[in-house]
Structure 1
Amino acid sequence: MALPDLPAFATPWAFAALAALPLLWWLLRATPPAPRRVPFPAIRFLTGLESPRKTPARSPWWLLLLRLVTVTLAVIGLAGPFLAPADPDLPPDGNGKSPLLLVIDNGWASGVSWKAMQDCALDLLDEAQRNRRPVLLLTTAASATPPVLSWRDAGAVRAEVQAMVPRPWPTDRKTALEHLEALPGDATGAPGQAVWIHDTLASPDPEATRNLARALNRRAALTVRAPETGSVFVVEEPVPAPPYLETAVRRSPGGASVELPLQLRLLDAQGRVMDRVEARFGPTDTRVPVRFRPPQPGPASQAHPASQAHATAAGAAPAPESAPVRSRSSLELADGTGAPLPGAGTRVLMNDPETFPEVGLLTGEAASANREPVPLLDPFYYVEKALDTRAGILAAPLADLLRRGVTHIVTADLAPLDAARESALATWVENGGVLIRFASPRSTDRTDALLPVTLRDGDRSLGGALSWSDPARLAPFPPDSPFAGLAIPADVTVTTQVLATPQPGLENRTWAYLEDGTPLVTAASRGAGQIVLFHVTPTPDWSSLPLSLLFERMLERLLTLGSGTAGTGTEPGQDARPLPAWRVLDGLGRLVPPLPQDRPLPPDPAEPVRVGPEQPPGYYGSEKHAVPLNIAPGVDRLLSTGDWPEGTSLRPLSGQAKTRDLGGPVLALAFVLLLVDFVLSLVLRGLGGLRMRER
């Protein structure tokens, strides 16, 4: 049998104003209407005349009644009337005035149902605030600092819950129980009501969930409020299975009786959907495998024919010039309509090493890897600007670059290397590295074997004070060049260059020409790698190429060359530094800036890192090079809680009749009556051209 709704008032003391109604009645009766002005004619015309219009001595009774009703409604509205349903969460002898112990699961599993869980908590706190019940709030997510538990006003707790978001790590109900047991007794007494807003998921230690429920049930009558569906989802990290990526979506057994269509979407770094695959759960399914094919790069992103003997670029449309090389993609779980499901477990962060190369800038042995380049003067300045958002950049001596296992090495001049470094660099190229070299003012003793073509002695000057020729422009790129299809700006000119010695097969090694047919960029394959030479400097000294967008696009195409290397066998992680948090996931699956207490990620951890308060899931490193950390590897099993102590009341989050506030409608009615009174007063006074007909 349903309990009837109970009327109540938030501020019943406001009814004291009704004691002034008799005084208001007397004042209204003693106050006559305003006098009416009548023109005074000559006395002889007034003889024997009697005016048929009479002025009343007091206000009409119906106007007095209207005003009394208006004042009464205003007092009732200010008293805060509401219609409250009977609270089934209270114990049988509860009177709605005893303290409330509120427990909220705010771990990663609550992200999917967080809005409903938060609304349920706010409804309970609204009821406690109306009845002036003290509240103790206990959250179960792990915390870096122990919480300070105390009985507080429901309004203060409501503001805290309203601003609360779930944590992107698991709950720690064992520690929550320790905090509850350590709570000292005070004058508030034992709570009469304990409500646990549960995420339906058992802790990694199921016994900790049962122990916390028993402790709450000993203190008060326990009510567990949980989502109706009982589904908690987690997306596993993808595993490469060329040409596909294989992953799976898991859900907790609590929702395994419902057929549920979901979508797994592949997002790029800007959050744009690149692919979507359906993940449909049957009535008994708790794990659904998913396989999808990542988008393939355009023809212009393929390796050059010199490094892929059977590849061809003939007839292929070039890729758009704005296509990015670097990709920081992610997987996101969405419902059947395409709306993303919130939560840290429904999103997996990824980094594709094939689209995020490591580029090394070769410096002298005494140069620091953390040098600060001098703007516009440093030989690598324009190269770094062109690759800043497309690759990880490391400026270091050759030994450090080889130990790091970079995919590309850039040199800013043609200075010769000693025999040991030249041999190490040649081995690195043969293993799949890409060496990009730039010309520099020549000297007679700087030739080495790491050049794609033989160079002439001396430099060629175009458009100088002692030259009859004008600065040369670039010719269209050959169709088999990796630069094919790039637009060439008309203002890109060359004033100085180094020349290649004419020899058979030179045209097969030339990727860019000037209009007069002289090579501008030459290349040659060495083993699995490439050697690329720009016949100009990387600075604007010899050409305006480094100042143009074309320079950025050409280097972008070169990042797709080579098969990558694995270093020289030096211990991985040597000289590596911890990776600080760059962007972290919150409990709703959003990437946000890290907090000061977030600890760096070890570069080579001995054991898998488990996410927690000090190391939340997210990207660790920097914008140029980041390593993802996800919650899925730390989630071994998804177990639903089903063993509750005897006497525990299990109820859904929604479905309870909400308290209806009557203060607003009552005040609105009083305001309408006040407007009616104002209009009638105008009519009685004869103002505004209105007057009531008198009989």
Structure 2
Amino acid sequence: MPVNSSGRALETCLMLALGPLAFANPWLLLGLPLLPILWILLRTVPPAPVRRLFPGVALLLGLADDEVQTDRTPWWLLLLRMLAVAAAIIGFADPVLTPRADTVRDGPLLLLFDGSWADAPNWSARNEHVEGLLGEASVTGRQTAVVSLTDLPSRPVLPFRSARNWLSELPGVVPVPWMPDGPAVLSWLSGLDGSFDTFWYSDGTAQDWRSAALAELQERGQVSVFEARHPVLALRPARIADGTIQVPVARSRSTEASAVTVVAHGLDPGGIERQLARVDVAIPEGESEAEVVLSLPPELTNRLTRFEIEGIRSAGAVSLTDDSLGRHEVAIIAAREEREGSRLLSPTHYLEQALRPGADLIRGAIQDIVLANPDVIVMADVASLAGSERNAVEHWVRDGGLLLRFAGPRLAASDIGREAEDVLLPVRLRAGGRRVGGAMSWGEPKRLRAFSAASPFFGLPVPDDVTVSSQVVAQPDPSMAERTIATLADGTPLVSRKRLGDGQVVLFHVTANADWSTLPLSGLFVQMLERLAISARQTQPSAEDLNGTVWTLDRRLDGFGNVGTAGTIAGVDGVRLVTESPGPDLPPGIYVGDSGTIGLNAFGASQQLAAADWPVDVPVEEFAASRSLPLKGSLLFLAILVFM
């Protein structure tokens, strides 16, 4: 409740005289100077009575009174009552004992939060401190505004109002899993008008825009900074190196040695999240980073969902895992009569070279492979399967498997998919195949056409030196255009795909080796396999890898490091996931695309983490629980007790 100007002036005087004591109704203190007058009135003796003779009084002579009353009120009793009246006057003036004198300064007050994930570990203590300051401001009637730099008002106008109103709205202010947008902050601050003091609740991290923001605020009034003294801790994205999982731990201050515990979480066979591993890591004095090194079996590595620093509730202390850590199981099945001679001519040599860095390769009989339930089954020039094998593979695909087939002489010479569509082929095939280059054919080898927007390969650059000399040709069909995901320059299908139940069947219309094309010799071959989720990445994808892809947020990370459902959010361009920092329209979490998953973490692989450096003329304090102490009730109770 605002007070008038005379009340504010009296309040300031009392603060100067009495120290950290504020009054909501200081004008009532004007009653204190009237106490001496009341003292004089109470001490005044009424006029002496007129004396008259009455004979009957003689009968009372000699009697003694049980109680003797004084002619006047004793001075000590009168003083006690004066003190009781003074206590009542002061009590009705709403006195509050405040631990901070600067909260009762005149003029508006801005409580400014960074509001980032680095604020989250101290959010409860921060809120207790803010509640105390708002309580003091509400008693003194100081207009207050609360603003988070990660959720700026749409216009550069501070929402000043009663501090009591902000007390009810404070629980709705929470940290978010990204840092403030520096240019947006400076633009908003530069548009503010008027004078006000600022209490800046910093997250303790160095930001290149912080000095300019401080200068803008100092032009408008006094600035005090509150921040936690302990360092900010964060995890960088996990990576695979030298066959181990490495998770860098960063901190904002390196003045002393410290130790943290990093916990690996993942799913058990029943799909319930469990703690899979714990590692203690020491950060030496003078060092700002240390590294957690884990060696887990592939079956546990594939189940990892996230790493987190134990005891730190912050999005920055969580490192989400994606396909860059997982290793797919890929079964390779080749024709029974593999060609003898050079290994380079093997139908599966280039496949193995492309898949081995990011996948566990398995071989065996088809029935055994299906029972092992790999992520992918690759068939290199396999024309026919036995009835039981065929049924087993079909059921496996319908249950969500990916069958990747490559053409070759045997498939071209067979009659599979000639008269009717084969369930394990995406398109019908013409007999004999097609030869478009070489000494015994007319024409030149065909180059590839740029991938269409509907293709999972969209955005991948097509090298000029990738050519095709032979292929199996799809028969024209109404569904052929929909199922074709890569074509040659003349429009004939190079790669086709169809959905089968929950899985899919993909056919490369060329061989898996260099017999029919130079595709297996190029880096494009590996990129195409990655887009099909055949080969797990061992590093984060580049912008070139993600060009033309669209990803949908599946699981979202909040400011406190909790992972939850994403809700309804529009898909994002894949390039943004590796070129932009997290923000309101690009929240951290797990993004899902046609080729797998990508984890966008709150703290990036190349992001710097250092402590904020404030000028010497700016007071920096550690926030602690700070609450005002109302004295009205105690003083009024004391006054009533005395009068009783």
TM-score scaled to structure 2, two decimals? 0.52
Q: Could you list the per-position Cα deviations for residues 212-269 of structure 1 after superposition, in whole angstroms to 9, with x for gaps in the alignment? A: 222222333333333323x2222012223576421110112xx211222211112345
- C-alpha contact (below 8 Å) 1:169/1:612 kept by paired residues: yes
Mapped pair 1:197 → 2:201: yes
Could you tell me which of 259, 262, 271 is aligned with 1:261? Answer: 259
Deviations along 1:151-178, one digit per CA (max 9) or x if unpaired, are: 3333334544443111111111221111
Number of the residue aligned with 1:332: 308
Matches within 5 A, 1:370-389: none
Q: Choose which of 608, 623, 626 in structure 2 pairs with 1:654.
A: 623
Write out per-residue CA displacement over residues 639-663 of structure 1, whole angstroms, 9 at most, x where no aligned residue: 444374xx741312237x9565141
Structure 2 Cα separation of the partners of residues 574 and 583 of structure 1: 22
The yes-or-no answer on 1:345 pairing with 2:313 is: no
Structure 2 match to 1:311:
none
Code of the aligned partner of 2:240:
P
**For residues 359-415 of structure 1, what are the alpha-carbon distances to aligned partners after superposition, in whole Å with 9 as ceiling and x for unaligned?**
9xxxxxxxxxxxxxxxxxxxxxxxxxxxxxxxxxxxxxxxxxxxxx98279xxxxxx
Aligned residue type for 1:286: S
Determine the C-alpha separation between the residues in 2 that align with 1:289 and 1:354: 16
Q: Which is further off, 105-114 or 123-132?
A: 123-132
Residues 275-309 of structure 1, C-alpha deviation per residue, up to 9 Å, x if partnerless?
Answer: 221122222011101112447869xxxxxxxxxxx
Q: Deviations over 1:322-356 (max 9, x none)?
A: xxx9946321113xxxxx11211001123579999
Partner deviation per Cα, 1:506-534 (whole Å, 9 max, x = no partner): xxxxxxxxxxxxxxxxxxxxxxxxxxxxx
User: Matches of 1:239 and 1:195 in 2, distance apart?
Assistant: 40
Verify: 1:166 aligned to 2:175, yes or no.
Answer: yes
Query: Mind listing any 5+ residue stretches in structure 2 that lack a counterpart?
Result: 1-15, 43-62, 331-372, 378-383, 404-421, 425-502, 509-527, 534-547
CA offsets per residue over residues 453-488 of structure 1, 9 Å max, x none?
xxxxxxxxxxxxxxxxxxxxxxxxxxxxxxxxxxxx
1: CA distance, partners of 2:130 / 2:100: 17
Q: Residue 606 and residue 82 in structure 1: after superposition, are their counterparts in 2 closer, same or farther (change >3 A)?
A: closer
- Whole-Å separation in 2 of the counterparts to 1:248 and 1:8: 50
Distance 1:423 1:573, change over 3 A: farther
8 Å contact from structure 2 (residues 239, 245) kept in 1: yes
How many pairs were matched up?
A: 427
1:450-465 to 2 correspondences below 5 Å: none
Write the deviation string for residues 579-617 of structure 1: whole angstroms up to 9, x where unpaired.
543442221212345465x44345787845632111211
Instruction: Kindly provide the amino acid, as one letter, of the partner of residue 254 in structure 2.
Output: A
Q: Which secondary structure does the structure 2 equivalent of 1:329 belong to?
A: strand
CA distance in structure 2 between the partners assigned to 1:104 and 1:51 by the alignment: 79
Q: How many angstroms apart in 2 are the aligned matches of 1:179 and 1:214? A: 13
Distance 1:83 1:674, change over 3 A: closer
Map 1:635-654; keep pairs closer than 5 Å. Answer: 635-642=606-613, 644=615, 648-654=617-623
Matches within 5 A, 1:59-98: 73=87, 76-84=90-98, 87=101, 96-98=105-107
1:203-242 map, 5 Å: 203=207, 206=208, 208-229=209-230, 231-241=231-241
Work out the CA distance in 2 between the residues paired with 1:328 and 1:16.
71
Matching residue's letter, 1:266: A
Aligned to 2:553: 581
For the residues of structure 1 that align with 2:393 and 2:94, how far apart are their CA atoms? Answer: 82
CA distance in 2, matches of 1:357, 1:571: 12
For 1:408 and 1:423, the matched residues in 2 are separated by: 16
| Residue equivalent to 1:246 | 246
Contact kept, 8 Å, 1:6 with 1:83, in 2: the verdict is: yes
Structure 2 equivalent of residue 279 of structure 1: 281
Report percent identity of matched pairs: 25
Distance across 1 between alignment mates of 2:423 and 2:630: 90
Inter-partner Cα distance in structure 2 for 1:275 and 1:571: 31
Deviates more, 1:630-639 or 1:161-170: 630-639
Q: Which residue in the other structure is 1:499 paired with?
A: none
Q: Which moved more, 1:275-284 or 1:72-81?
A: 72-81
* Preserved CA contact (<8 Å) 1:120 1:653: no
Choose between structure 1 and 2: higher helix proportion.
Answer: 2
Specify the SS of the correspondent of 2:212: helix
AA aligned opposite 2:224: T
- Displacement of 1:13 after TM fit? 4.5
Match of 1:637, SS state, is coil
3-state SS of 1:214 partner: helix
Q: Return the alpha-carbon distance in structure 2 between the equivalents of residues 64 and 285 of structure 1.
A: 71
The separation in 2 between residues aligned to 1:566 and 1:608, in whole angstroms, is 33
Distance 2:154 2:143 in 1: 24
CA RMSD of aligned residues (A): 5.7
Separation in 2, partners of 1:245, 1:142: 36
Q: Say whether residues 1:407 and 2:405 are aligned partners.
A: no
Q: Is the 8 A contact 1:143 1:613 kept in 2?
A: no
Whether contact under 8 Å (2:552, 2:571) holds in the other structure is yes
Q: Residues 406 and 565 of structure 1 are in contact (CA less than 8 Å); yes or no, is this contact kept in structure 2?
A: no
| Whole-Å separation in 1 of the counterparts to 2:163 and 2:34 | 34
SS of equivalent to 2:219: helix
**TM-score when scaled to structure 1?**
0.48
CA distance in 2, matches of 1:271, 1:601: 28
Unaligned runs of 5+ in 1: 28-49, 299-324, 335-339, 360-404, 410-415, 436-447, 451-563, 679-695
